[in-house]
Amino acid sequence: MTSSVFVGVDVAKERLDVAVRPSGEGWSEANDEAGIAALVARLQPLGPALIVCEATGGFERPAIAALAAAGLPVVVANPRQVRDFARATGQLAKTDVLDAGILALFAERVRPTPRALPDAAAQLLDAVLTRRRQLLEMLTAEKNRLGFAPKPLHRGIRAHIRWLERQLDDVTKELADLIEASPVWRAKDDLLQSVPGVGPIVSYTLLGELPELGTLSHKQIAALVGVAPLARDSGTLRGKTPRVGRPCECPDRAVHGGAVRSALESDTKGLLRPSQGGREADEGGADRLCAETADAVECDDEGQQPVDDSRIQNSIQLLARDGALPPGLRAARWPA
């Protein structure tokens, strides 16, 4: 019986390093049109069960497109997952050749599911969104420079700001035209903008950055975006629940956990708000904060979560002032 073939391709700006399992074969190709064509021609006779590449900021796109067009099963893996897998196997060194071998081993052991690649229109929408994010970053940087630059430089900076603003308007209009040209995107855009608080830019960002929206369950989409809490409990330890998901690449990403965190922080401040009876803190709120603070101290001692000592110390001082802090907790770490 013929064993399945698994291929790992480490992508750099100028080179593609290839590793094949279980044969152990490896070679390199140039990351250009001729090298990619040679890669496809060499892999097709092998009939690989799976090819895994890492996402490298766009350098992998031509190779991925060529492999997919040739009908080869290819997956773009999350670099964090591959790096964690490498550490789990004891591979701490990192070179392009070693990375290709780890990618091939990752394909053989983990076997991630191949997914349909975005079509040309979706790739164009993502590229325009990326360009808009870049223009926003440059515009913010120039406005910040204007505040402390010498006066002789103000004229040039203001001229650049006006040019960036015109470019930003053009890119935003191009986004609207792309959405309008597609009946499917237009229907999704209308549905998204029917939600209170969702405007054109939020809708365009969701369509380009989160195409899975509408095809996954609410729990799956929350985990993908990074707003679903993940348990970190061990024995009697009840750690904080971090949120891990798709990284937020742009400041105007519509779906993120910032609002949730802000709400939690404001609620914590509310626990310390004096009641109508005077300076005495609300007993229930103080008890809850004491429990959360003790839990945070335990997390820090166990090395599970970093703790902001200054914030906890301020909370403890306020509670100690009002007589709501258990003496054991105060003596355990901070003097009265």
**Pairwise CA distance, residues 104 & 318, whole Å:** 56
Mind listing the pLDDT tens digit for each residue in 67-106?
888 888 999 888 888 999 999 999 888 898 999 999 999 9
In sequence order, what are the residues at sequence separation of 6 or more whose Cβ sits closer than 8 angstroms to the Cβ of residue 280?
Answer: 274, 322
Q: Which of 196, 183, 4 lies closest to 104 in space, CA to CA? A: 4
pLDDT band at 297 (very low <50, low <70, confident <90, very high): very low
**Pairwise CA distance, residues 226 & 244, whole Å:** 5
Structure-token pair, residue 301: 């001692």
- The DSSP line for 84-130 is HHHHHTT-----HHHHHHHHHHHHHHT-PPP-PPP-HHHHHHHHHHH
Rounded mean pLDDT, 218-230: 83
**φ, ψ at 226 (rounded to 5°):** 110, 20
**Pairwise CA distance, residues 315 & 301, whole Å:** 19
Structure-token pair, residue 17: 């390093």
Is residue 294 predicted with pLDDT exceeding 80?
no
75: enclosing H helix or E strand: strand 74-77
- The DSSP line for 196-210 is TT--HHHHHHHHHH-
Rounded mean pLDDT, 270-295: 44
Mind listing the pLDDT tens digit for each residue in 40-78?
999 999 999 999 998 887 888 888 888 888 888 999 888
82: number of Cβ within 10 Å: 23
Structure-token pair, residue 18: 């290839």
- pTM of the predicted protein model: 0.57
pLDDT band at 244 (very low <50, low <70, confident <90, very high): low
SS3 271: helix
Mind listing the pLDDT tens digit for each residue in 113-170?
887 777 778 888 888 999 999 999 999 999 999 989 999 999 999 999 999 999 999 9
